[in-house]
Structure 1
Amino acid sequence: MKLDLKARNILFILIGAAIYAFGLVNFNMKNQLAEGGVTGLTLILYNLPPHFDPAISNIVLNIPLFLAGWRFFRRNEFIYTLIGTFSLSFFLYIFQHVITFNFSLSHDLFLAALFAGVFIGGGLGIIFRYGGTTGGSDIVARITHKKYGWAMSKTMLIIDAAVIIISIIYLDYRQMMYTLVGVYVGSRMIDIIQKGAYAGKALMIFSRKSDEIAEKIMSSLNRSVTLIDGKGGFTRREMNVLYCVVSHNEVFRLKNLIKDIDPDAFVTVNDVHEVFGEGFSYPKSSPNKLDKAQD
């Protein structure tokens, strides 16, 4: 089973690296858009004489980082990082010299930036989700976190910002601004893929008619609820507080349902960034089974 899990992780890291490389070659390199981290440095070396191939410079720049940071990784993490980095260079070579496409969008850099963000962010999100990295600023961030306690996200942001600023030596202001658009879209794609596609809303319902509302939710929406013992701070009255998670398109129906039963109910609604279980990551079951799952 462990071998199957490792094989799956490696497979998706390879897929993520292919998507990342495809976006970098066809939308960043062909439209002269920059990127952050070590990848951004490879683009600087590519755009300035003597024009180093990113497939080679990516490995060359990462080798000293591997030597400096290998002890800060667990064994599997280090292996996945090696796979991610070398597979990225492999696919960069493939999409530059073997399988080529004509995606020049110099006439519409906004569209190029969107495509770059979607492919690069999507590829990185897949790599990160399955335990890999592409080396570079991630290694530096781990070293500074272990040695100095610096937050990894801040270190990576500083490195990315510095590389993008340096990229002004071959970019004009227009390309720089579109690069920032691509970087933002990429960061959102990473978040979406890492956090999962199944999101929803969590509602806390405070009502004197909690039992009636709970029954209606289960019968009308086929969603279960959890009853939490509560006590009013002012009235000192004991009541059941209902907790329920629904999909985005069910929130309006649930609000109307609550208002019909108890217009005076107090309801809080919060974003839930990832949900898995019956009714979300796989089909709904009966309310009774859902009840057992939440209880």
Structure 2
Amino acid sequence: MDRLIRLSIVFVASVVLAASLNLFLLPHEILTGGVSGIAMILGLMTPVNTGIWIIILNIPILILGWMKLGKVFIANSVFSVLVTSVALLYIPVMELTGDVLLSSVFGGVIAGIAIGLIVRFHSSTGGFDVVGLFLTMKKDIPLGGLVFAMNSTVVFISGFIFSWELAMYTMASIYITGLVVDRIHTRHVKLSLMVVTNKGEEVKKELLDNLYRGITVVDGEGAYSEAQLKVLYTVINRYELALVRPLIRNIDPNAFVSINETMEVMGNFRRDDPSNKTAHSKKNAA
């Protein structure tokens, strides 16, 4: 059921992404970034549809991602790319507004929402998204900003082929898309979690059973009550916070919990997707 919900969200988001291209960006020759942007250039310059070019250009990148990011992730990505490509074939290229700036803003926002949801639910739109996700596994870099930097090449290409005015609209659209993606895809954000509880063993066991994280346990004492307590400390990503809250609340509703955003994490911290169980084993979190 969980996988069906994920694929349903990815399906809807992929159709919305195609709609943002054909209804806002392509009519004004405003491009998206990366492989999709290159596909749009080829689609505008050749009789071959943009959707077909997206499939052709994504093949080598998806093969690389299969080896580095896991089979489930790439299978989901292939699904997203195929849905987007088919939707591009059936959604007409139609100008909803003659205002180029308005189209670039709305197209960028809608594309950002769609891409953010696709990535959040363990998939991608292929192309530079795959490369960006692989790099964010190594460094705590916002995905939207990283993809924006890589997509800048498309802006220069579009400037030489079409016009520099359209290139600037493209830059604005890509930048807006990156900002929106980073508001939705927040896995790079790390949180320090500290739990003070008199049910330390139960909380520790529940967290270890549900998180692929190491936990430091320290003996504590209440300054006023002089009660013997356990202090549990770990670092999680923002997605895992939604899982941690109910776990702690169910075991000890009176536990003192402190959550702070962490600027940087050094040492043995797993950055890959915890839902991708084929990419790691539980012993990595010991």
Aligning the two structures, in what range does the TM-score lie when normalised by the shorter sequence?
A: 0.5 to 0.7
Residue 184 (structure 1) aligned with residue 168 (structure 2): no
Alpha carbons of 1:10 and 1:63: their partners in 2 closer, same or farther (altered >3 Å)?
A: same
What RMSD in Å do the two structures reach over aligned CA positions?
A: 3.7
Bigger radius of gyration? 1
The normalised TM-score by structure 1 is: 0.59
Spell out, residue by residue over 1:80-115, the C-alpha distance to the aligned partner (whole angstroms, 9 max, x if none): 11111111111111213xxx6x4343x411111111
The CA deviation at 1:45 is 0.3
Q: Distance in 2 between matches of 1:293 and 1:43?
A: 54
AA of the residue aligned to 1:292? N
Q: Distance in 1 between matches of 2:109 and 2:47?
A: 26
The normalised TM-score by structure 2 is: 0.61
The CA deviation at 1:168 is 1.3
Alpha carbons of 1:293 and 1:31: their partners in 2 closer, same or farther (altered >3 Å)?
A: farther
Spell out, residue by residue over 1:221-255, the C-alpha distance to the aligned partner (whole angstroms, 9 max, x if none): xxxxxxxx9xxxxxxxx9xxxxxxxxxxxxxxxxx
Moved more, 23-32 or 163-172: 163-172
The CA deviation at 1:292 is 2.6
Spell out, residue by residue over 1:250-295, the C-alpha distance to the aligned partner (whole angstroms, 9 max, x if none): xxxxxxxxxxxxxxxxxxxxxxx89977xxx99xxxxxxx973655
The CA deviation at 1:68 is 3.2
Match of 1:173 among 164, 168, 176: 164
State whether residues 66 and 139 of structure 1, in contact with CA within 8 Å, keep that contact through their aligned partners in structure 2: yes
Q: Distance in 1 between matches of 2:111 and 2:126?
A: 15
Alpha carbons of 1:68 and 1:129: their partners in 2 closer, same or farther (altered >3 Å)?
A: closer
Q: Distance in 2 between matches of 1:152 and 1:51?
A: 36
AA of the residue aligned to 2:71? R
The CA deviation at 1:69 is 3.1
5+ residue gaps, structure 2, are: 188-220, 225-237, 247-251, 258-286
Residue 86 (structure 1) aligned with residue 69 (structure 2): no
Within 5 Å, which residues of 2 pair with 1:212-231? none
Q: Distance in 1 between matches of 2:73 and 2:181?
A: 19
Spell out, residue by residue over 1:5-55, the C-alpha distance to the aligned partner (whole angstroms, 9 max, x if none): 11111001111101110001111111110221100001110222x232111
Name the residue aligned to 1:164.
155
Within 5 Å, which residues of 2 pair with 1:225-264? none
Residue 113 (structure 1) aligned with residue 104 (structure 2): yes
AA of the residue aligned to 1:116? G
Name the residue aligned to 2:42.
45
Match of 2:95 among 85, 89, 103: 103
Name the residue aligned to 1:22.
19
State whether residues 158 and 166 of structure 2, in contact with CA within 8 Å, keep that contact through their aligned partners in structure 1: no
Q: Distance in 2 between matches of 1:65 and 1:152?
A: 20
Name the residue aligned to 1:256.
none
State whether residues 85 and 134 of structure 1, in contact with CA within 8 Å, keep that contact through their aligned partners in structure 2: yes
- Aligned pairs, how many? 206
Alpha carbons of 1:189 and 1:164: their partners in 2 closer, same or farther (altered >3 Å)?
A: same
Q: Distance in 1 between matches of 2:241 and 2:135?
A: 34
Match of 1:127 among 94, 99, 118: 118
AA of the residue aligned to 2:166? Q
Moved more, 165-174 or 72-81: 165-174
Q: Distance in 2 between matches of 1:140 and 1:194?
A: 15
Name the residue aligned to 1:292.
254
Name the residue aligned to 2:211.
none
State whether residues 34 and 151 of structure 2, in contact with CA within 8 Å, keep that contact through their aligned partners in structure 1: yes
State whether residues 47 and 170 of structure 1, in contact with CA within 8 Å, keep that contact through their aligned partners in structure 2: no
Q: Distance in 1 between matches of 2:168 and 2:255?
A: 49
5+ residue gaps, structure 1, are: 197-228, 230-237, 239-272, 283-289
AA of the residue aligned to 2:114? G
